[in-house]
Amino acid sequence: MKKLFAHTDLEIALLTRSHKTHPPAGGPNSIFNIPIVIGTHALLQDKINFKKIGLLVIDEQHRFGVKQRQALLRGQTQTETQTNADRSQRQSVSSPLESVKVVPHLLSMTATPIPRTLALAFYGDLDISRIAELPSGRKKVITRLVAPENRAVAYEFIRKELARGRQAYVIVPLVEETDGEKKSVATETEKLRKIFPEFAVSMLHGRMDGGEKKQVMEDFKSNQTQILVSTTVVEVGVDVPNATIIIIENAERFGLSTLHQLRGRVGRGKWQSLCILFTESVSETTRSRLEAVVKSNDGFELAEIDLKLRGAGEMLGARQSGYIPFKIASLSDTKLIETAKAEALDLLAQDPMLSGHPKLAQKVNEISREAHLE
């Protein structure tokens, strides 16, 4: 960001759990007086209240809950929107536009939108901008669903890639062996050290302290470690262009969005990359779900499949998936949704205060409009 705004005099602040460039308190140097603030979940602290947010950008949106995203809007100043409509027409019906909070522009970014967000986009509350092309010089990641009996063949391919100087991730669903035969970080690390004795194998998981995790990642980035066994802690924010292989064990344990995000850890360099999905599940439903990941590298398409499988959740509540409890059109009814949206916009154009539709106005007023529905 500093490079992007180098030609301006705009100051940029950073706030994370372990680092802050400006104090979150009063005074001229306060973080609240800085025009651009970049941060992690640390921005969600109760004492962090920005009064005049003009633009809110949420990266990796699927990593935040609904209430967490709305918490960023704490402290926004109240305003009352006035219109030219005759106030006498509103005496019996409260305006759906009155007494709302100033809501900033919102840019929500993710490779895999959660079902709720995707549904809101379909129903017209959010606009979608899709970036379909790959960054210059990158190749599409090849994904394969590999049966357990072909594991030895897969390992031999990995050995050849590592011998060429490349690196590999191995993703497992657990930190410890607490779930029967499901693989864990510790046991998988020990197993791979025996299978690949000529290469350095390290492990990474969320229970490690910050300094230890940082050192493990630095060793992997510098190619001192060739194989990194990890949980989904590497799902976002990890960029190692030299890593060309990612193995995902017990792939049936992960959602489509998570699988796509994990696959995104490779394919960041100039070399062809491969994602290998291992599963011992014989369920047709499970295998067809994993086949969707094999066939598509489009996170939006996978999110649509996820939406059909998991449901949209509550568009006016906190649930981000699950089937909504009231009657509403199916997302497969695209034409009907577009027609309904056009009719709604036409109604608002003719009767913006809904003065001629008191029951509809009453229903609208029951809905909280304090934040973006996203």
Q: What is the pLDDT of residues 63-75, one digit of tens each?
A: 665 555 566 655 5
Sign of CA dihedral 255, 256, 258, 263: positive
CA distance 331 to 313: 13
- Please report how many Cα atoms fall inside a 13 Å half-sphere around the Cα of residue 41, on the Cβ side: 5
- Picking from 56-65, 140-149, 155-164, 291-300, which range would have the lowest pLDDT averaged per residue? 56-65
Query: Where does 16-80 show beta strands of DSSP type E?
Result: 36-39, 55-59, 78-79
Q: Domain extents for the chain? A: 142-297
CA distance 62 to 320: 9
Give tens-digit pLDDT for 159-212.
Answer: 999 999 999 999 998 755 554 445 689 999 999 999 999 999 999 988 888 889
Residues of the chain with pLDDT > 90, as a percent, come to 31
Give tens-digit pLDDT for 114-130.
Answer: 666 666 666 666 677 77
- Compute the mean pLDDT over every residue in the chain, rounded to the nearest whole number: 78
∠ at Cα 327 (325, 333), nearest 5°?
A: 120
CB 125 within 8 A of CB 373: yes
DSSP 158-215: HHHHHHTT-EEEEE-SBSSS-STT--BHHHHHHHHHHH-TTS-EEEE-TTS-HHHHHH
Phi, psi values for residue 20, rounded to 5°? -145, 135
Pairing verdict, β 142-146 and 78-79? unpaired
The larger pLDDT score, comparing residue 85 to residue 165, is at 165
Confidence of residue 226 (pLDDT cuts 50, 70, 90): very high
The total of other beta-carbon atoms located within 10 Å of residue 373's CB is: 20
DSSP three-state, residue 279: coil
CA distance 250 to 252: 5
Nearest to 236 by CA among 75, 367, 110: 110
Q: What is the pLDDT of residue 336?
A: 75
Phi, psi values for residue 92, rounded to 5°? -90, -20
- Picking from 28-32, 105-109, 286-290, which range would have the lowest pLDDT averaged per residue? 28-32
Give tens-digit pLDDT for 227-257.
Answer: 999 998 887 778 999 999 999 999 998 888 8
CATH architecture of 142-297: 3-Layer(aba) Sandwich (3.40)
Buried b (16+ CB within 10 A) or exposed e, 290-302: bebbeebbebbeb
Q: What is the pLDDT of residue 243?
A: 96
Residue type, 262: L
